Amino acid sequence: MLEAGVLSWSIGDLLPLVLLAGVVGLDVVSFPQAMFSRPIVGATLGGAFVGEPLAGLTCGAALECLALESLPVGASRYPEWGSASVVAGAVAASHVTPTGLPAVGPFAMSVVVGILASWLGGISMVKHRQLIARVARPRLGQLAAGSRSTVIGLQVFGMTADLLRGALVGLVMLLVAAPVVAVVDARWSVRDDLSRAIVVTCVAAVAAASVWKDFHAISGTRRLFLISLAIGTVVVILGA
């Protein structure tokens, strides 16, 4: 785990998180696209791997508000939230309060780490596509002829490279973020309630802007939003 001011991820902590970052990053585009690369899922898994799923879930909920603004479509450039969410969830879960929630300083920093990691992941996805294009170009004739082995080979290569890409992003960001967040946690002086309010307000503003844009662009969005809001409210009331 982490201690203030020093990096002390053990191999037992780091290796599962790096593998998880690779698998979750793979889900973004390559396989199986089962939506476990969404921030609220990826961050919860990252927190669970550190032993604090609630802290990961809290961070994931904040990142999910930010991820609503980006829509991964085709070959467009967009943040890669899968691997980033695993890193952010693990960082948030490395410093928790007795209630299981992330400490305020690491919580704020985990959101920042998630944003930076998603940006790095987005760049890595572009490089991954360029790599696949270079590998496929000499095989265009075989592809045009319908070579089954060539198609399968390129698919396996692409997914393997994507798995390694996500794992590398996770490894780099975990190693870089851990000591920074430990120092921030030791020196954070802003009141807890104010710190959380700032983070929640910022991510909620981004989510509200995204939803408002969808209200005007996609038919039926308002109705679905109201239905989901009603169901969520009922669930919260019954679970209270």
Q: How far apart are CA 80 and CA 21, in angstroms?
A: 11
In order of 110, 138, 218, 219, 226, the CA distances from 116 in angstroms are 10, 35, 29, 33, 32
Least confident of 20-24, 102-106, 127-131, 213-217: 213-217
Higher pLDDT, 132 or 71: 132
Q: How far apart are CA 240 and CA 236, in angstroms?
A: 6
How many Cβ atoms are within 10 Å of 191's Cβ, its own excluded? 10
- Mean pLDDT value across the chain: 89
pLDDT attached to residue 74: 62
How many Cβ atoms are within 10 Å of 190's Cβ, its own excluded? 12
Q: Give the pLDDT mean for 83-101.
A: 93
pLDDT confidence band for 152 (50 / 70 / 90): very high
Q: How far apart are CA 167 and CA 21, in angstroms?
A: 5
Percentage above 70 pLDDT, the chain: 93
pLDDT attached to residue 72: 67
112 has a pLDDT exceeding 90: yes
In order of 20, 30, 69, 89, 118, the CA distances from 166 in angstroms are 9, 11, 21, 15, 10
pLDDT attached to residue 240: 61
Higher pLDDT, 12 or 131: 131
How many Cβ atoms are within 10 Å of 110's Cβ, its own excluded? 35
What are the boundaries of each domain within the chain? 11-188
